[in-house]
Amino acid sequence: MQGEPKHELIKVDPEGKTSKTIAEFRDELSQAKRAISFHYYSNRICFTPVSADSFVYGFSDEYKIYFADADGKPTLVMTKTEKPQAISAKEKEETRANGIYAVVGSNNLDEGVFFPDHRPFFSRLMADDLGRIYVIRINSILEKDGPIRVDVFSGEGIYLYRMTWTSRPAAIRAGFFYEVRQDPETSEYLVIRHKIANWAALKSH
């Protein structure tokens, strides 16, 4: 690969070939590193469709969300001022012990573990059928099972409010919160539908 490692968001044609590079973001790793570890605090591109002809994306190293049309052309850039949170020594220790998802280039889990300068600002983006954007924040790995903090924006990029979730939905549609769970006894996957009692009262503009 030429130059520094990078993350790319690409458009693929029906034959599976790259037809367009929509965005590039620099990775925190240098080309000299022979092993790369993907872990709890690794930065990533997050993406979600908003409608049939638009989507949003962002790179978790910065609190900046890009709105784009169906061809990938940016139409709006949304930012939110946030103070970066440092990754503590205890967080790094816990990540090395229980937060490594994959290692490329080595069979040694201790090799290739490099941390960004601060915690990623978010771990996922979602949108509902009213065009609201949900920016799912990342907790410390020491409290990763705690309440999930979510920043909510209108389809015009206006910050509306922060809410907390007790679980991560697969979709939010028509006043319902869809959660996927795996039955520990049968290993079957179940789709749980929760009704959002105050759906009509939630602001969307």
What pLDDT, in 10s, does the model give residues 24-46? 887 665 445 667 788 999 999 99
Looking at residue 141, what is its pLDDT?
Answer: 97
Looking at residue 6, what is its pLDDT?
Answer: 80
- Percent share of the chain, pLDDT over 70: 91
| Mean pLDDT of the region 12-21 | 87
Looking at residue 3, what is its pLDDT?
Answer: 55
pLDDT, averaged across the chain: 89
| Mean pLDDT of the region 110-115 | 77
Distance CA 119, CA 148 (A): 15
Residue 204 exposure: Cα atoms within 13 Å on the Cβ side: 12
Distance CA 62, CA 128 (A): 23
Q: Look at residues 166, 175, 170, 169 and name the one whose alpha carbon lies nearest to residue 199.
A: 175
For 11-15, 22-26, 29-33, 66-70, which range has the lowest pLDDT when averaged over its residues?
29-33
Looking at residue 119, what is its pLDDT?
Answer: 96
Parse the chain into domains and list their residue ranges: 6-201
| Mean pLDDT of the region 85-110 | 87
Q: Look at residues 24, 19, 22 and name the one whose alpha carbon lies nearest to residue 2.
A: 24
Looking at residue 138, what is its pLDDT?
Answer: 95
Looking at residue 160, what is its pLDDT?
Answer: 96
> Which segment, 9-13, 29-33, 111-115, is predicted with the most confidence on average?
9-13
Looking at residue 31, what is its pLDDT?
Answer: 47
* 149-174: pLDDT as tens digits: 999 999 999 999 999 999 899 999 99
pLDDT-derived band of residue 137, with 50, 70 and 90 as boundaries?
A: very high
Q: Look at residues 161, 136, 134 and name the one whose alpha carbon lies nearest to residue 148.
A: 136
Looking at residue 84, what is its pLDDT?
Answer: 95
